[in-house]
Amino acid sequence: MCYTDKTMPTKLEQLKARLAQVADIKAASAVLEWDQHVHMPPAAAASRGQQMARLRSLAHSIFTADEVGELIEATAAETAGMDDDADEACLIRGVRRDFDRDRRIPEALVAEQAQVCAQAYSAWQKARQESDFAHFQPHLERIVDVVSRISEALGYEESPYDALLHLYEPEMKSSQLVHIFGDLKAGLVPLVDAIQCEGRPVDDTLLHQSFDTESQWALGLEILKDMGFDMERGRQDISEHPFTTSFAPDDVRTTTRIDPGNLKTALFGTIHEGGHALYDQGIRSELARSPLFDGASYGIHESQSRLWENVVARSRGFWSHYLSALKIAFPQQLGNFGVDKFYRAINKVEPSLIRVEADEVTYCLHILLRFELETDLLEQRLTVADLPDAWDAKMEHYLAVTPPDDAHGVLQDVHWADCLLGYFPSYALGSLLSVQFYVRATQDDPSIPGEIARGNLAPLRAWLRENIHSHGKKYTPTELVQRVTGGPMSATPFLTYLNEKYRDIYDL
Amino acid sequence: MCYTDKTMPTKLEQLKARLAQVADIKAASAVLEWDQHVHMPPAAAASRGQQMARLRSLAHSIFTADEVGELIEATAAETAGMDDDADEACLIRGVRRDFDRDRRIPEALVAEQAQVCAQAYSAWQKARQESDFAHFQPHLERIVDVVSRISEALGYEESPYDALLHLYEPEMKSSQLVHIFGDLKAGLVPLVDAIQCEGRPVDDTLLHQSFDTESQWALGLEILKDMGFDMERGRQDISEHPFTTSFAPDDVRTTTRIDPGNLKTALFGTIHEGGHALYDQGIRSELARSPLFDGASYGIHESQSRLWENVVARSRGFWSHYLSALKIAFPQQLGNFGVDKFYRAINKVEPSLIRVEADEVTYCLHILLRFELETDLLEQRLTVADLPDAWDAKMEHYLAVTPPDDAHGVLQDVHWADCLLGYFPSYALGSLLSVQFYVRATQDDPSIPGEIARGNLAPLRAWLRENIHSHGKKYTPTELVQRVTGGPMSATPFLTYLNEKYRDIYDL
């Protein structure tokens, strides 16, 4: 054995200290962003932008310093003999991947992207307001140009889209998505057709009455607590667009919004964000202040929100217990309705123009369309000028609806104005994975559906925590899905679930 | 003329860019601190502490880098020909002072102080809860030791206390305070005696009824708006200990607390914080993201809160307008009382044990006592072990009250547990200055008192903005007071004001 000076931190400890610095700064930036969406006075947008940009740039420069690269190399030797599954071994693999990625993008390009985005965002707001794509077009052209150059800087094997996709779904390729989404499309289009043409119509007017906001808020909190959201280690607030963010294992923030004329908005929004929040609260605290304190990918994170929102909270079993609580809160509005009527109402399928308002069945078609358009743009089969027509044609083809204007079509989402090309697929992957995970959970613990129907959500949460949440970002999405389900990502379980559920609801 | 490359930033521009970085990081840290006191879930204390420490340490190391020193020297040459009063000239003077100060404290000492404080804070909480000074004593001994060494590192001419005092009151010396506070004591003690022994008793039971919290909140917001607090550029929230903080000229946050059994708590607390908030919102936006975007000193900042809380909102004129609004909010509780009765009630004088509950007359005596004890500790005339007895003796001497235990005596304030020795004098200076400034304001614009009595607070706010707020930290407190009042700080106007007001109220 050789002599080690106990007072000198090892290379691994030095690296971890560096990563903790970066994590602290990123957490601070997340607090500023949360405040921006929840409390910030309107006039403060510019100063807050400067503060957040400063923190991002600091985190980036501390993480990509030469020293970190040297520590990664030195540490790789220290961890060489470790089990592949050890926290440290996973940490080093992940950090090396992130470091190589972040070092590949020149700072000038990062700054250019930030500037292009900032200008595009205001242009998009105005364009959407006036339903005038021409106003947004030059900005989107610059965005496609700058993200293409970022993609070139990052490097890829098959498609320039892959480099962008990796920012949200590590190691995923667009060729895999083409395959998975192909299956999805083949299954969804006939199901939507059948529902539309042959289904027994669903009446959901009971959801569109007047529901006072305080009772909605209280009910949402009650369900959040039943799900296991720990209010000592987190909180819920109101924001225009609901979101979840996390500053530490002990500080997870979720938001909701309440529409007094639509019961679904707060109810399913709260449960959706609650699914994200349980993930963040469930990551093992040993992984805090490191890059592993995160979801495995955007798609895996979304699987948790959709599992709770759709697979659980849009199930008949869930409402066989919770409808009584809902009736206590809203006796006049809901007193006369039984579980079956309510269950059908919350699962009404209707092809529509707006992604964020889409039901569980048609939702993924909105994503397919965006994925196809994004890859066409990145692989230069489509110009930005031709995008609105391409959008409308695909809407007609997949959903048989035609946008009356660009505000209800190509201009509806903020993502492209935010330079987030490659992000949309995660939403659809979340839907597929939610069912894959739930199927596995009920195989491992067959009591889960029965317990949900008794209002006991703890067994499902415990399974999710053990199998998914606790690991944080230790594994790549592919590794995690393989580990949990024993196979690769697949559209089949999701399609089976939809067919069983909706053929029943629509008497097909 | 020599050739200048227009694309190269000047040294001054480079320095300003550096200072903007530091300001952005400090603003981020302030957002985290605000959130900590207003929204943070209880379990997040440890992670939030790490995040804030990280930002403070980053701001410190960016500001004290060798490069900044070189830029200051290079810039001094560039600004040498400028008017002394120019923003840039003031900036360079202030930055040089801060830089020299911050460079003098070794990083190890900063870290040691942070650690000593963190431990002392929990010990103090426990000690106060159990009224057990012995539990806090070893921590306070370490604190006196570490701040003494910081004082030595900073350097001083006359007293080690001065180096600490300068952190809150630039250029002030304890010998000046001894002089000013001597005048104060000589004036206050006989006034308090006269009120106690010969005054017509004041009945303030009308303030201690049941007042619903929502009406109190709404009333506070109304007065804040009348004061000129701009809700587009700030907001008010609830916190256990009211405070005001500022992240940018367009983002000033104030908090209040509401006691349903005591009308004074929220009413005067809200107006007090509103005074701080107007200062922060009134600093010229050209000074943003620089060290000049701040109050001239803690005492000057406090002068603004006390001016609004006491000189304005505890005046008869103010209530000749606002009592009707109060009666509309609380008709049952206040309907029967006239302005005179209400005015006397809110100005009741009563020597008491707790500083934060003290009235306008006795308040400064609580500060004198702390100042004397702090200087005795720092100049080694008093040991920490003897502090409780010394405290009780001074309370008896100045206020003729005897603490029943240490929780109501030497353990009542958090400041010493937070290593904030040298901070208390700013509170008393704020009281003195509030009157000096108000007297000058009414000389410059004699319409001010009449307008206040008509509910028009705009003329006073305009005077404060022009003469005090707009300058931020351009001038030292001494310079600013000279500039505004034409003389030095003095206890005389304050004593004159108190004597006139309270001899009237108490029929002396």
Query: Structure tokens of B345?
Result: 């009630």
Q: Contact B41/A289, CB-based, under 8 Å? A: no
CATH class of domain segment(s) A174-204+295-321+334-505: mainly alpha
* CA nearest to B235 within chain A: A41
Alpha-carbon distance of A444 to A455, in angstroms, equals 19
**Collapsed DSSP state (helix, strand, coil) of residue A301:** helix
Out of B43, B54, B55, closest to residue A233 by CB: B43
Q: How would you write B31-86 as a 3-class SS string? A: HHHHHHHHCCCHHHHHHHHHHHHHHHHHHHHHHCCHHHHHHHHHHHHHCCCCCCCC
With an 8 Å Cβ cutoff, is A35 touching chain B? yes
Q: B 128-167 residues with CB below 8 A of A?
A: none
With an 8 Å Cβ cutoff, is B46 touching chain A? yes
Measured over the CA atoms of residue B282, residue B285, residue B286 and residue B289, the dihedral's sign is positive
Determine the distance in angstroms separating the CA of A8 from the nearest CA of chain B, rounded to an integer. 17
Vertex A422, ends A421 and A423: CA angle to 5°? 95
B-chain residues within 8 Å CB-CB of A31?
28, 31-32, 35, 51
φ and ψ at B269, to 5 degrees?
Answer: -65, -45
Out of A21, A35, A54, closest to residue B24 by CB: A54
Domain with CATH 1.10.1370.30 in chain B: 174-203+291-505
Q: Contact A247/B51, CB-based, under 8 Å? A: yes
Alpha-carbon distance of A36 to A42, in angstroms, equals 9
Question: Any idea which fold B174-203+291-505 has?
Answer: Neurolysin; domain 3 (1.10.1370)
With an 8 Å Cβ cutoff, is B25 touching chain A? yes
B-chain residues within 8 Å CB-CB of A288?
47
CB pairs under 8 A between A and B: 114
With an 8 Å Cβ cutoff, is B56 touching chain A? no
Note the ipTM here: 0.93
* CA nearest to B31 within chain A: A32
Specify which residues A246 forms β-bridges with: A252
Residue B107 C-alpha from the chain's centroid: 27
φ and ψ at B356, to 5 degrees?
Answer: -70, -10
What's the start-to-end Cα distance of chain B, in Å? 73
Domain with CATH 1.10.1370.30 in chain A: 174-204+295-321+334-505
Which residues of A are known catalytic residues?
273
Out of A29, A44, A288, closest to residue B248 by CB: A44
The Cα-based distances of A266 to A202, A215, A356 in angstroms read 21, 11, 13
What's the helix, strand, coil split of chain B in %, to 5?
A: 70, 5, 30
Using the CB atoms, write b or e for B128-148: b if 16+ within 10 Å: beeebbebbbebbbbbbebbb
Vertex B321, ends B317 and B323: CA angle to 5°? 105
- Picking from A48, A281, A286 by the largest number of B CB atoms within 10 A of its own CB, the best residue to mutate is A48
CB B367 within 8 A of CB B375: no
Provide the angle, in degrees to the nearest 10, between the axes of the packed helices B425-444 and B477-485.
20
CB A477 within 8 A of CB A296: yes
Global pTM reads 0.94
Out of B28, B41, B232, closest to residue A43 by CB: B232
Vertex A387, ends A381 and A393: CA angle to 5°? 95
- Picking from B22, B32, B51 by the largest number of A CB atoms within 10 A of its own CB, the best residue to mutate is B51
Task: Render each residue's pLDDT in chain B as its tens digit; 508 residues.
Answer: 444 455 688 999 999 999 999 999 999 999 999 999 999 998 998 899 999 999 999 999 999 999 999 999 999 888 888 898 999 999 999 999 999 999 999 888 988 998 898 889 889 999 999 999 999 999 999 999 999 999 999 999 999 999 999 999 999 999 999 999 999 999 999 999 999 999 999 999 999 999 999 999 999 999 999 999 999 999 999 999 999 999 999 999 999 999 999 999 999 999 999 999 999 999 999 999 999 999 999 999 999 999 999 999 999 999 999 999 999 999 999 999 999 999 999 999 999 999 999 999 999 999 999 999 999 999 999 999 999 999 999 999 999 999 999 999 999 999 999 999 999 999 999 999 999 999 999 999 999 999 999 999 999 999 999 999 999 999 999 999 999 999 999 999 999 999 999 999 999 9
Specify which residues A252 forms β-bridges with: A234, A246
B-chain residues within 8 Å CB-CB of A54?
21, 24-25, 28
Query: Structure tokens of B414?
Result: 């958090």
Domain with CATH 1.20.58 in chain B: 11-160
CB A278 within 8 A of CB A469: yes
Sequence-distant (6+) residues with CB within 8 A of B97 are B170
With an 8 Å Cβ cutoff, is B338 touching chain A? no
Q: What is the CATH number of domain B11-160?
A: 1.20.58
Alpha-carbon distance of B316 to B295, in angstroms, equals 29
- Under DSSP, the state recorded for B262 is B
Out of B20, B28, B230, closest to residue A28 by CB: B28
